[in-house]
A and B are shown apart, each in its own frame.
Chain A
């Protein structure tokens, strides 16, 4: 009898150990709008920290549709994305579930998360200007000023329908209303040196080559060219970054963020990953590997990024930008911005 009790106890202990081992390890499946290569270092560090294996696919569009169609069988646990418009849409499309985490609520300020917890911001980037060191003397500029005729033929920008510009234009609408924003967009269009095309790096390159004096681009591109990409260093050398502000406001920022999928088969691991991404290790990596602004307080901003000056994000609630996404796109069509 004794023996059998001991056996049972041992067996129970063994199974408990096995069970806890299972709970500690396991997998998490990530669908991502951020490129695999870009976030792989963080995911690897997460696996090293937690023993949880991360499976990932990245795509440029349609992941919400894929998750939705896959339905109850979907392997997706976490959706990683950039752009506030996309985060809001993911929540609206019904594929998300609230992330309830006191830990996250401490780290992520209320303006950078969904009030109901359907998405959380993880890092920030700002849409700024790269100006020619030689031909532009100003050290400060407002977004409103970009439509000033004094810059006629001097500005370069990528397509007005690209999500980075879409969010910036949506912010202008949210700030000034549609009529004023249209006037501004027409002014900006009139100042363009060439038809919008290429990407933010081409914009820096065009400023460096003298095609234009001001290029509009995201914060991390310039820093990457300056610090990491020897062949593009010359473009960074010829240009300077100014953090523009709205007149009487701050700088336009956008988010990268996370969504917990409603049907997540590995919900606990998904939550672990999300909390880990807001943790110190990951936030350091967001700052120094990806050159983004970490959302967690007390994490040092990368020195090159810090060299742009102190970022004062505009105080307007970021969800207002998502609300005006469609209007911004419509406005781009209406003024023929890309034509």
Chain B
């Protein structure tokens, strides 16, 4: 700080750092742009003929069903996710400590597996209806009315209760770092917890809620397995039928590109809606608001409310899988290749998570250091990988990956080596790149929300004390962002574990992940045979959940600033 105190504002950064900030942001945006552009080129081929048909018969249904599905899932994910996050952060009640690590677990259940399980349980031939027929003496499934599981309503409930952890994790990371000052002030003025939640906690957490909800909605939008099985005619499904049955990949690409544009507009609109709001707490190193102990009936009520989503999203599906594992002797007749598949899956997910987090930090940090519209645009663009279905992303990635390989082969050939082959497109690197492009949005979203909560005054103080940008990031930003980082790491890791469509299409020869292993049974209508592999995904997901919960439940006063 050669200029001493005068440096604030005008000359905040050395020019090299500024250039680096631009370059990093552009590079990351380019990584995501490559598959999107290559897919947009397919869309640009165009298929005018198919649009009249789509507009007349396909899109009206698909748009309505998709909108209803998204709205329903949004309601459930928000209530279950933000509600439980608020309860466990604000109150101390019986079972809270167990619920802390149980609440994120539905993440580890792939949505389509949950769909299969619930259809098995609640369909006409399932145990519930069998019991009802027994009790009431009905003969067949046609003698009475029972809400159909394979329906839009069923899809809303099943997907909503599996995806609420996206909102939960985002909301919890935010609630936890909210300064106690507001809470204490409001309480001293006599505000009750619900009033406090409505007027202080929730509005302050809006950026985080928006991120979590956007992730859950995009996951819903891109789902294909569950909605197809449950008979919901989504837009994503129409992308696939247009490609595979109506014989028009360009037409399919156009639907996907329009969906992408619509999603981008919606996200931008939400941001625009809170453009003037400042969410930075004035004093952030204050202690977290102490939890209010709920005793007696109130305590059990809170525990019960938190238990509902855990049971529906995790315990029932996982319990069902466990029962199948035992009933089918999947443990005694253990398929030894599963160990290899599990190791492959965890390794790929681990590497991809590390890459995604590094890219996420590399993308958001420059924005913190230098708030330039170009950097801002790049960083936001880099979140679009999450907004396209996995198969679309995979199709888009094929060309850029092969182009890299062709370049490598060309260079190798000029050194006299031939037959290098597809070192990127044909290896695990393709999957890591696909996961990175797809899940970068999670890391960026969590980190932007995290940064938004750190007052710029910290940066100024650190600079005044002579800290360079890297020191600032290392000693101030990253420690304060720990809950957001851990939350993002967990989500990305578990999402990589269960990623299916891109993995299916891009994996190297002989590579099987747990997810693709389950899929080959599921596609034949026999998903129960993959129950053990599904539980292995859960097991691989539980360890980081527990670790993160342990970290994240420390009061911010100890875990952030020292």
Per-position binary interface string of chain B over residues 173-212, scored 1 when its CB falls under 8 Å from any chain A CB and 0 otherwise: 0000000000000000000000000000000000000000
Residue contact A61 to B507, C-beta cutoff 8 Å: no
Residues of A within 8 A of B148 (CB): 194-195
Given the contacts A197-B229, A235-B125, A163 and B245 also touching, CB distance less than 8 Å: yes
Residue contact A325 to B125, C-beta cutoff 8 Å: no
Contact among A38, A56, A166 with B510 in the assembled complex (CB-CB below 8 Å) = A56
Residue A177 CB within 8 A of the other chain: no
Surface stretch bound by A, among B289-297, B472-480, B519-527, B541-549: B519-527
CB distance from A151 to the nearest CB of B (A): 13
Residue B87 CB within 8 A of the other chain: no
* Complex Cα gap A163–B247 (Å): 12
Contact among A197, A206, A326 with B230 in the assembled complex (CB-CB below 8 Å) = A197
Residue A333 CB within 8 A of the other chain: yes
Residues of A within 8 A of B141 (CB): 206, 209-211
Residue B471 CB within 8 A of the other chain: no
- Interface range on chain A (Cβ under 8 Å from partner): 35 or more
Given the contacts A159-B231, A202-B119, A336 and B57 also touching, CB distance less than 8 Å: yes
* Complex Cα gap A158–B253 (Å): 25
Residue contact A210 to B150, C-beta cutoff 8 Å: no
Residues of A within 8 A of B526 (CB): 201, 229
Residues of A within 8 A of B409 (CB): 73
Per-position binary interface string of chain A over residues 168-212, scored 1 when its CB falls under 8 Å from any chain B CB and 0 otherwise: 000000000000000000000000011111111110011011111
* Complex Cα gap A89–B247 (Å): 9
Surface stretch bound by B, among A62-70, A116-124, A242-250: A62-70
Residues of A within 8 A of B327 (CB): 231
Per-position binary interface string of chain B over residues 422-461, scored 1 when its CB falls under 8 Å from any chain A CB and 0 otherwise: 1001100000000000000000000000000000000000
Residue with the greatest number of chain B CB neighbours at <10 A, chosen from A73, A194, A229: A73
Per-position binary interface string of chain B over residues 400-428, scored 1 when its CB falls under 8 Å from any chain A CB and 0 otherwise: 00100110010000000000011001100
Within 8 A of B (CB), among A21-46: 29, 35-38
Surface stretch bound by A, among B236-244, B276-284, B355-363: B236-244
Residue contact A339 to B61, C-beta cutoff 8 Å: yes
Residue B92 CB within 8 A of the other chain: no
Residues of A within 8 A of B90 (CB): none
Residue contact B520 to A55, C-beta cutoff 8 Å: no
Which residue of the partner chain B has the closest CB to A170?
B245
Residue contact B520 to A210, C-beta cutoff 8 Å: no
Residues of B within 8 A of A62 (CB): 391, 394-395, 505
Residues of A within 8 A of B519 (CB): 35, 60
* Complex Cα gap A85–B143 (Å): 40
Contact among B506, B507, B523 with A60 in the assembled complex (CB-CB below 8 Å) = B523
Residue contact A198 to B229, C-beta cutoff 8 Å: yes
Residues of B within 8 A of A202 (CB): 119, 123, 150, 525
Residue B228 CB within 8 A of the other chain: yes
Residues of A within 8 A of B243 (CB): 61
We find that the number of chain B residues with CB closer than 8 angstroms to chain A is: 62
Within 8 A of A (CB), among B127-153: 129, 139-143, 148, 150-151
Residue contact A330 to B123, C-beta cutoff 8 Å: no
Residue A59 CB within 8 A of the other chain: yes
* Complex Cα gap A38–B522 (Å): 12
Given the contacts A61-B505, A205-B124, A35 and B523 also touching, CB distance less than 8 Å: yes
Residue contact B124 to A210, C-beta cutoff 8 Å: yes
Residue A312 CB within 8 A of the other chain: no
CB distance from B506 to the nearest CB of A (A): 8
Residue contact A231 to B150, C-beta cutoff 8 Å: no
Within 8 A of B (CB), among A206-235: 206, 208-212, 221, 229, 231, 235
Residue contact A209 to B525, C-beta cutoff 8 Å: no
Residue contact B425 to A70, C-beta cutoff 8 Å: yes
Residue contact A73 to B528, C-beta cutoff 8 Å: no
Residue B512 CB within 8 A of the other chain: yes
Residues of A within 8 A of B233 (CB): 338-339
Residue A57 CB within 8 A of the other chain: yes
* Complex Cα gap A193–B327 (Å): 32
Residue contact B58 to A210, C-beta cutoff 8 Å: no
Residue contact B511 to A57, C-beta cutoff 8 Å: yes
Residues of A within 8 A of B61 (CB): 336, 339
Residues of B within 8 A of A74 (CB): 422
Given the contacts A65-B398, A69-B399, A211-B140, A326 and B247 also touching, CB distance less than 8 Å: yes
Residue B489 CB within 8 A of the other chain: no
Residue B246 CB within 8 A of the other chain: yes
Residue A58 CB within 8 A of the other chain: yes
5 nearest A-B pairs in the assembled complex, by CB-CB distance: A210-B140, A197-B231, A35-B520, A209-B124, A329-B245
20 A-B pairs with C-beta separation under 8 A? A35-B523, A36-B512, A36-B520, A38-B524, A57-B509, A57-B510, A58-B504, A61-B244, A62-B394, A69-B398, A73-B405, A153-B142, A163-B245, A198-B231, A202-B123, A205-B125, A209-B124, A209-B141, A212-B142, A325-B247
